[in-house]
Amino acid sequence: MFAQKQAQAAHADWREFVIEALIRVLGFSTIGFVLLIFLFLLREGVPSFYKVPVSNLFGTRWYPNFDLFGTLPLLLGSVLVTVTAILIALPLGAATAVFVREVAPNWAREILKPMIEVLAGIPSVVLGFFGMHAVAPLIRGTLGIPTGLTVFTGALILAYMALPTIISVAEDALDAVPKSLRDAGLAMGATQWQTIWKVVVPAARSGITTAVMLGMGRAIGETMAVMMVTGNAARMPLSLDSLFRPARTMTATIAAEMGEVAQGSIHYHTLFGIGIILFLLTFLINLAAAATIFKKRRRGGLR
Amino acid sequence: MSRYRMQRLGFALLTLISLVVVAPILAVIGIILVEGMGAISWEFITAMPFDGMKQGGIFPALVGTLLLTLGTAVVAIPIGVGGTIYLAEYARDTLVTRCIRLAIVNLAGIPSIVYGLFGLGMFVLFLRMGTSILAGALTLAIMTLPVIISTAEESLRSVPTEFRTVSASLGGTRWQGIRYIILPQALPGIITGIILGLLRAAGETAPILFTVAAFFLPRLPQSPFDPTMALPYHLYVISTQVPGMPIHIQHGTALVLLALVLSMNLFATIIRSYFRRRRQW
Amino acid sequence: MVEAKIHIDKVSYAYGENWVLNDVTLDIAPNSVTVFFGPAGGGKTTLLRLINRLNDLVEGTQMKGRILVDGQDIYNSEIHIPTLRRRVGMVFALPLPLPGTVRENVLYGLKLAGVKDRSRLDEILEQSLTQSALWDEVKDRLDHLAVALSGGQQQRLCIARSLALEPDILLLDEPTSGLDPISTRKVEDSLFTLKEHYTVIIVPHSIQQAARIADKAAFFLMGNLVEYAAGTELFTRPRKKKTEEYVTGRFG
């Protein structure tokens, strides 16, 4: 005979029963929201995939007014801005995390951590505004190019927007490195710097990878700041100087054009189609990042 | 001794990089503060805009943002707190629970503009709410859920398990333990989570682009079914869509938005540290 | 022979596939102090927690056998668990005051049970703190935080908290393990007065303590009940070799 645990539920009075049922429903609701989001994206976005020929949809020209819905320049625009942003943010973020966790004196930590929280709280549109008025002119002046609204400007702003995520996840990863490993390094006569560089950082590598992925997810979905500072020219960013020329991302395209399209038009459906691509991209990125976190937790590493 | 010189060099480099990270943050706040201060006046905060928004104030945008945030709170707090209690206190490690966690990770990662599309598709068009505060608040609420849940869950989990055992041993049901011990103890963390979620909602532009935001609407909304101006969208509009917009008004608007969001942030930090010092375990 | 207050009938218990109790059977008489003792990992604490179904909170366990309190099978699905736990109080190894004041701690169980009568609450407050030998020390700071009390006071507060529910049975799991000798003495003294009104089962934190307080004693080894007899007998003339070795300090 096994213990009958369900007995408790049978006896709880009805008020308690109602409360617990409600809590259960609320807990499950998050799944419902994700499904609803996906459902509505599909409902509005899928028509574009059969109304627009594939060759057009994956063409290199995005001129909706002429029924040209080539999403390739937008996709590449997003990828270029995001990758550049991560290349900037990774060294900055990793180094700051190491500094905060391993090196910084207490007072410096007490200043740095709130500052980074503040950065995480600054609205995207404010950073975009700052980018337009302070960063873009600086870049135009320094490089002597016709406009400061470029891929690089966008990537720079995005890098800073991704930093809080990268730093906090990387910090957790460093935190999870066992003290014994550090002590072993130091006991063998290594300096603190050598221990950090040769022992701690390599041990935290997978956590730092997670940090990069989450930062990337954040960057690729960013809208307002990118729209305000990358110049929004829907052209294929293939030449070498693309970094210092305007480009157009998927997010900016939706934000800029959805307000003006006729509901139910091909253009309208295609913008939702881009939404589906964004949804799936970020879903995959976050799934991969979450998988490494969950795996770590099971082994008792991170947490 | 070169190993130690190496170490000094390395530490110096890390310090330098951290400065590179911090300096722009200070620059953003400093520049907007200095440039925006001049525009701030009682009139700027409380007057309707006129003359193509080139004169007057930002009153309707400010009120709109406050209303949207309030609406978001009304929807997001019960769902967020209930969901958190479920995850932290009721859920066992089953497939469904993992799906919920995955859903939360996914919700946290969905780009804000995609929330905007969803809000447009579901609330504005399908449920025929039109561009309205209601549609915008619902959209923002779903977006803030993962922020609330992840912060609040951590604080529920930090309450020692023993309290649950003691409560049960004194004849408490699971809900009574939650109601009388766990929730009061976790409250500061829950409030922190709620504020962090709401400040994100208050500062977001992309989700409200197609669900609420009015380009120029020099009157206050009369009901939840009205569209409204909102501070972040207003900043976007006057800095990119209106030629010849006086720069100090742009900076002033940015300053008000920044002040609103950062003061919420500060509030959350104060609550967290105040209660951390007072806790009895 | 008085009828047994608690009848433990062929109980086996496992966490996952790890069986920590094997086919344990024993009767516990009312208004007595029964001691469960033996080396760590013997299953004493688990058995204690089974008597008020506190182990229901643990996931992935399995149980065989029955436990009857006053002739009633407490693992029957008709049992209302909160009511059972009010009848069978529990004090833990470490003092675990709940957040809040001394008063709130003592009256917590009554609040959950829905008792609102102020004068009755005050009466029970004084009565249970007196029974646990704490009243004189805290009567002037009933509204101070419980965590401000000393370890020994906190543990007596936890006893008072259980007593406030006026249980029939009191389970104590090494209640003095974290205490200094003087506090231990005070807690033990209060136990002697308690047994007039309650059936007490205690896992002691030393053999000496077991010998001092036991009316009856049960020796557990690796999940098996080795010997169960009157305290005077078991500690002076143990019948089983294992018991003798343990009591005389040859292992454990």
Q: Tell me, what CATH number does B241's domain have?
A: 1.10.3720.10
The A residues from 8 to 67 touching C (CB cutoff 8 Å) are 8, 10-11
Whether residue A29 is found in the same domain as residue A84: no
The last residue of a domain, from among A51, A70, A85: A51
Whether residue A26 is found in the same domain as residue A105: no
* Structural domain containing residue C76: 6-247
| Cα separation, A131 vs A84, whole angstroms | 16
pLDDT of residue A260: 87
Which CATH number covers residue A165? 1.10.3720.10
Cα angle for residues C176, C177, C183 (degrees, 5° grid): 40
Is residue A226 within 8 angstroms of chain B, CB to CB? no
What is the dihedral angle through the alpha carbons of C85, C90, C96, C99, rounded to the nearest 10 degrees? 30
DSSP designation for B245: -
ipTM (interface pTM) = 0.93
Chain C residue closest in CA terms to B162: C96
Total number of domains constituting chain B: 1
Q: pLDDT at residue C175 above 90?
A: no
The C residues from 52 to 81 touching B (CB cutoff 8 Å) are 52, 54, 57, 59
Greater pLDDT, C150 or B142: B142
**Cα of A289 vs its chain's centroid, Å:** 11
Residue C1 lies in a domain: no
Residue B10 lies in a domain: no
Q: What is the mean pLDDT of residues A100-126?
A: 92
Total number of domains constituting chain C: 1
Q: What's chain A look like in SS3?
A: CCCCCCHHHHHCCHHHHHHHHHHHHHHHHHHHHHHHHHHHHHHHHHHHHHHCCHHHHCCCCEEHHHCEECCHHHHHHHHHHHHHHHHHHHHHHHHHHHHHHHHCCHHHHHHHHHHHHHHHHCCHHHHHHHHHHHHHHHHHHHHCCCCCCCHHHHHHHHHHHHHHHHHHHHHHHHHCCCHHHHHHHHHCCCCHHHHHHHHHHHHCHHHHHHHHHHHHHHHHHCCHHHHHHCECCCCCCCCHHHHHCCECCHHHHHHHHHHHCCCCCHHHHHHHHHHHHHHHHHHHHHHHHHHHHHHHHHCCCCC
Q: pLDDT at residue A6 above 50?
A: no
Least confident of B129-133, B187-191, C248-252: C248-252
Q: With an 8 Å Cβ cutoff, are B114 and A36 in contact? A: no
Chain A residue closest in CA terms to B172: A12
Ramachandran angles phi, psi of C90, nearest 5°: -140, 135
Q: pLDDT at residue A78 above 60?
A: yes
Residue C76 lies in a domain: yes
Taking CB atoms and an 8 Å cutoff, what residues of chain C touch B178?
none
| Cβ-contact C155, C95 below 8 angstroms | yes
Q: pLDDT at residue A4 above 50?
A: no
Whether residue A154 is found in the same domain as residue A11: no
Run of H or E residues at C85: helix C81-87
| Cα separation, A200 vs A184, whole angstroms | 11
| Chains touching C by CB (3 or more pairs below 8 Å) | A, B
Residue C252 lies in a domain: no
Residue C228 lies in a domain: yes
pLDDT tens-digit profile of B65-115? 999 999 999 999 999 999 999 999 998 888 999 999 999 999 999 999 999
Q: With an 8 Å Cβ cutoff, are C54 and B165 in contact? A: yes
Residue B8 lies in a domain: no
| Cα separation, A158 vs B17, whole angstroms | 17
Q: pLDDT at residue B40 above 70?
A: yes
pLDDT of residue A294: 66
Q: With an 8 Å Cβ cutoff, are A259 and B17 in contact? A: no
| Cβ-contact C150, C179 below 8 angstroms | no
Whether residue A174 is found in the same domain as residue A187: yes
Residue B160 lies in a domain: yes
Which CATH number covers residue C81? 3.40.50.300
**Inter-chain Cβ pairs, chain B and chain C, closer than 8 A:** 66
Q: pLDDT tier at A301 (50, 70, 90 boundaries)?
A: very low
pLDDT of residue A9: 40
Give the residue ranges of DSSP H helices in chain B: 2-37, 42-46, 59-85, 95-109, 112-119, 133-157, 161-169, 174-177, 183-203, 231-240, 247-278
| Cα separation, A290 vs A296, whole angstroms | 10
Residue A2 lies in a domain: no
DSSP designation for C10: E
Whether residue A111 is found in the same domain as residue A137: yes
Whether residue A248 is found in the same domain as residue A206: yes
Q: Which of A43-52, C102-111, C190-199 has the highest mean pLDDT?
A: C102-111
Total number of domains constituting chain A: 2
Chain C residue closest in CA terms to B177: C112
Greater pLDDT, C1 or A256: A256
Whether residue A266 is found in the same domain as residue A135: yes
pLDDT of residue B278: 73
Centre a 10 Å sphere on the Cβ of residue C240 and count the other Cβ atoms it contains. Answer: 14
* Structural domain containing residue A27: 7-51
Whether residue A145 is found in the same domain as residue A293: yes
* Structural domain containing residue B153: 42-278
Whether residue A70 is found in the same domain as residue A161: yes
Whether residue A61 is found in the same domain as residue A78: yes
